[in-house]
Amino acid sequence: MYAVIRTGGKQYRVEPGVTIRVEKLDKEIGTEFDLSEVLLIGGDKIHVGTPLVEKAKVTVVVTRQAKGPKVLIYKKKRRKGYEKLTGHRQLYTELFVAGISGPDGQHIKAEAKPVIVDPVKKAERLAKAENKPKKKKVAKKVAAAPKKKKVAKKATSKAGAKKKTKKKASKK
C-alpha cells in the first residue's frame, strides 16, 4: 500500500518504512504525528481524493532536523567589475513513515523502527570519545643483530697527495 501526501507545497509518494525529506516543520525530534492531507491511496484498491481522501491519514515520526547542501548564488554585471557570491542552505525535516491508514479502516504499519538522529546526543557521544585516553599499541621488540666494531682508518700523509709546481724562469 502506498499514499500520495501533500506537505510544504509539494507532493510525495510514500510507503510504510520509507524516510522522506520535507520542508522544515516545527516539530520536535522523535515526535509522532499524522498527516491528513492524503491525495491518493493505492494498493489493491485505489482511492482518489477530490481533492483529499476522507478518513485517510499517514502516521510519521520526525527523525532529523537539519540543513541541506549549500547552494551557491553568483551574480555578475559585465564590464562593471561587479561580482557577488553568496550561499544558502535550506532547512529540512526528515520523516519516517510509520504507517498508513485508509478510508476503509485498513492499517498498514512499518516493519522497521525509525532511526532518530539527535544532534545534541551525538555531540555528547563524540565529546566522551575524545576525552577517553587512547590505548597505545606496544609493538614487540625484535632482537637486534650484534653491532660490528668500527675500525679506525690509517693516517695517510698529505705530502704525497700535493702536487708541486715548478716556477718558470723568466727571460730578461
Residue 8, Ramachandran bin (φ over 0: left; ψ between -120 and 50: alpha; else beta): left
Kindly state the average pLDDT of the residues 139-161.
69
State yes or no: pLDDT of 160 exceeds 60: no
Assess if residue 86 is contained within a domain: no
Domain hosting 14: range is: 2-65+92-116
Assess if residue 154 is contained within a domain: no
State how many domains the chain has.
1
Task: Supply the mean pLDDT for the chain.
Answer: 88
Kindly state the average pLDDT of the residues 95-121.
91
Q: Which H/E stretch holds residue 60?
A: strand 57-67
pLDDT at 35: 95
State yes or no: pLDDT of 143 exceeds 80: no
> Which range (90-94, 97-101, 137-141) has the least confidence?
137-141
Assess if residue 131 is contained within a domain: no
- Expressed in percent and rounded to 5, the helix, strand and coil fractions of the chain are 10, 40, 50
pTM of the model: 0.69
Assess if residue 41 is contained within a domain: yes
The rounded distance, in Å, linking the Cα atoms of 14 and 5 is: 7
Between 157 and 38, name the one with better pLDDT: 38
pLDDT at 172: 62
Assess if residue 124 is contained within a domain: no
